[in-house]
Amino acid sequence: MPPFLRELLDLLLRWVHLIAGIMWVGNSMLFNWLDRNLYQPEPDKQYPGLQGKIWMLHSGAFYEVDKKLLQPPARMPAMLHWFKWQSYTTWLTGASLLVVVYELGGRAMMVEASSPLSLLQASALGLGTVVGGFFTYDLLWRSPLKKVEAVLVPLTLALFGGAVFVLTHQLSGRAAYIHVGVLLGTCMSGNVFFHIMPSQRELVRATEEGRPQDPAIQWRAKQRSIHNNLLTFPLLFIMISNHFPSTFGNELGWVVLWVLMLGGAGVRYVMNIRFTWKPWRPALAGVVVLSVGALVALTLPRAAATPSSTDAVSFVRVAGIIERRCLPCHAAKPTDDVFTVAPKGVRFESPSQVKANAEKIKLQVVTTKVMPLANKTGITDDERELLGRWVDQGASLE
Ligand code: HEC
């Protein structure tokens, strides 16, 4: 695919993905919050099927909402609003984006240059984990154990943890993180498609046929909806993770991802139960302090590592390394086979461009080693060390 076309597709898909995702997650948050703030009105105001009431204030008026099951002889309302296209659009654009940016983005986006995997094998592993992971998750929660959370929650965590471990050890950090994100997103949209929507269709059918509604069906939809709610925070981190090389570029990138996924889901969980659980404030603080503390412990040592030698590094040597290892991509007219414009507009053709990016070069090449991308240009550890030392010594152009 021509690079300009890929960039255009990337832009349009990403834009729609973000809009649909905000609408979907926004709905999930609002309905979850709403459910947990329902109250039971006085007995004389209650009627069969009523599950709770809530009053809200928004944009200049009051909204009065009743949560209920429609009991016969109640009739279907003339106009009923469903919430599903936000979810489907988010998934469709997200899955397409994955293919455009990674599977079609060239081998360097998927694996390190030293990896034994071909682009095709790497893509098969990534997509296979998404599809296989989703079906395993779904079967677990369809099984007779579906109400035994004490068993299924640890099994589900082990499943996602296994996907994190395998992908981060086989694919490049950024590709691994995003494929895990697509796995979570697929579970979420799959929950809407295979469980929540069919349950709702059954509720509607029962009402139309004048049958009583089955609370078991309602329960199944709610269980999957709560899973989706808990997965939102981990997924939102993964969506922005590619901006943070200290995470996906970390030697222990799989632990970092795992910590942030657990931390995100933990925060979401405590926020959900805060209306009925008094000690939620210290619990929330505990989750945040533990996760952020672990994140700092995992990323700080490399950032604070001191160079092994103190010999001065001349700019001539730095310029030689940059020319060989970086300019194939970071130039006005790159010679790389995939990148035909300087990635992110970052160019190293003049000494001042190199100096201006000195701190970023250290972070990308020395602290996290995410550049050169996939080490496509074969930089050596000695060269990385020289670049880092040059930055530490003040990035002089002498
Ligand atoms: C094979 C192509 C390729 C090579 C070679 C390469 N880069 Fe990059 N570089 C990229 C891509 C792609 C991005 C954009 C990554 C992204 O979107 O997060 C990038 C981004 C960057 C950024 C900007 C990061 C940010 O988020 O602001 C810096 C700095 C950078 N590279 C430094 C280097 C240095 C230094 C070298 C040489 C040691 C190098 N790169 C070699 C492809 C390459």
CA distances from 197 to 67, 83, 85, 201 (A): 18, 9, 11, 6
Residue 71 confidence (pLDDT): 78
**Residue 393 and residue 272 in contact, taking contact as beta carbons nearer than 8 Å:** no
Atom of ligand 1 nearest to the CA of 109: 12
ω before 212 within 30° of 0 (cis)?
Answer: no
Residue 376 confidence (pLDDT): 95
pLDDT band, residue 69 (cuts 50/70/90): confident
Tell me the angle at which helices 173-191 and 215-240 cross, rounded to the nearest 10 degrees: 160
Q: What is the pLDDT of residues 111-142, one digit of tens each?
A: 998 999 999 999 999 999 999 999 999 999 99
Contacts of 380 (CB under 8 A, 6+ apart): none
For the chain, the C-alpha Rg in angstroms (whole number) is: 26
More confident residue, 57 or 309: 57
Binding site membership of 360 for ligand 1 (Cβ less than 6 Å) = yes
More confident residue, 358 or 6: 358
Q: What is the mean pLDDT of residues 41-55?
A: 91
The 3-class SS string of the chain reads: CCHHHHHHHHHHHHHHHHHHHHHHHHHHHHHHHHHHCCECCCHHHCCCCEEEEEEEEECCEEEEEEEECCCCCCCCCCCCCCCCHHHHHHHHHHHHHHHHHHHCCCHHHHCCCCCCCCHHHHHHHHHHHHHHHHHHHHHHHHCCCCCCHHHHHHHHHHHHHHHHHHHHHHCCHHHHHHHHHHHHHHHHHHHHHHHHHHHHHHHHHHHHCCCCCCHHHHHHHHHHHHHHHHHHHHHHHHHHHHHCHHHHCCCCHHHHHHHHHHHHHHHHHHHHHCCCCCCHHHHHHHHHHHHHHHHHHHHHHHHCCCCCCCCCCCHHHHHHHHHHHCCCCCCCCCCCCCCCCCHHHCCCCCHHHHHHCHHHHHHHHHHCCCCCHHHCCCCCHHHHHHHHHHHHCCCCCC
- Pocket mutation for ligand 1, best pick of 344, 368, 370, 379 (most atoms within 8 Å of C-beta): 344
Tokens (6 digits) for 40:
């039971």
Residue 72 confidence (pLDDT): 76
pLDDT band, residue 396 (cuts 50/70/90): very high
Q: What is the pLDDT of residues 198-249, one digit of tens each?
A: 999 998 998 888 888 788 888 889 999 999 999 999 999 999 999 999 999 9
| pLDDT of residue 333 exceeding 80 | yes
Percentage of residues in the chain having pLDDT higher than 90: 80
Nearest CA to ligand 1 atom 35: 361
Tokens (6 digits) for 331:
């130039």
Tokens (6 digits) for 387:
């670049």
Q: Please measure the distance between the N-terminal and C-terminal CA atoms of the chain and give it in whole angstroms.
A: 43
Residue 109 confidence (pLDDT): 93
- Pick from 28, 295, 288: nearest CA to 280: 288
- Residues 221 and 208: their CA atoms lie apart, in Å, by 19
**Residue 100 and residue 6 in contact, taking contact as beta carbons nearer than 8 Å:** yes
Q: What is the mean pLDDT of residues 330-343?
A: 93
Q: What is the pLDDT of residues 142-162, one digit of tens each?
A: 999 989 999 999 999 999 999
Q: What is the pLDDT of residues 286-311, one digit of tens each?
A: 999 999 999 999 998 877 777 778 89
Q: How far is the CA of 39 from the centre of ligand 1 (A)?
A: 54
- Pocket mutation for ligand 1, best pick of 247, 373, 384, 387 (most atoms within 8 Å of C-beta): 373
Other beta carbons less than 10 A from residue 232's beta carbon: 20
Residue 216 confidence (pLDDT): 85
| pLDDT of residue 73 exceeding 90 | no
Tokens (6 digits) for 283:
């619990």
pTM of the model: 0.91
**Residue 182 and residue 130 in contact, taking contact as beta carbons nearer than 8 Å:** yes
Residue 52 confidence (pLDDT): 95
Ranked by mean pLDDT, the top range of 42-51, 79-88, 259-268 is 259-268
**Residue 388 and residue 307 in contact, taking contact as beta carbons nearer than 8 Å:** yes
Tokens (6 digits) for 389:
């030392």
Binding site membership of 376 for ligand 1 (Cβ less than 6 Å) = yes
| pLDDT of residue 17 exceeding 90 | yes
Q: How far is the CA of 270 from the centre of ligand 1 (A)?
A: 38
Residue 316 confidence (pLDDT): 96
- Pocket mutation for ligand 1, best pick of 364, 365, 377, 390 (most atoms within 8 Å of C-beta): 364
351 Cα distance to chain centroid: 37
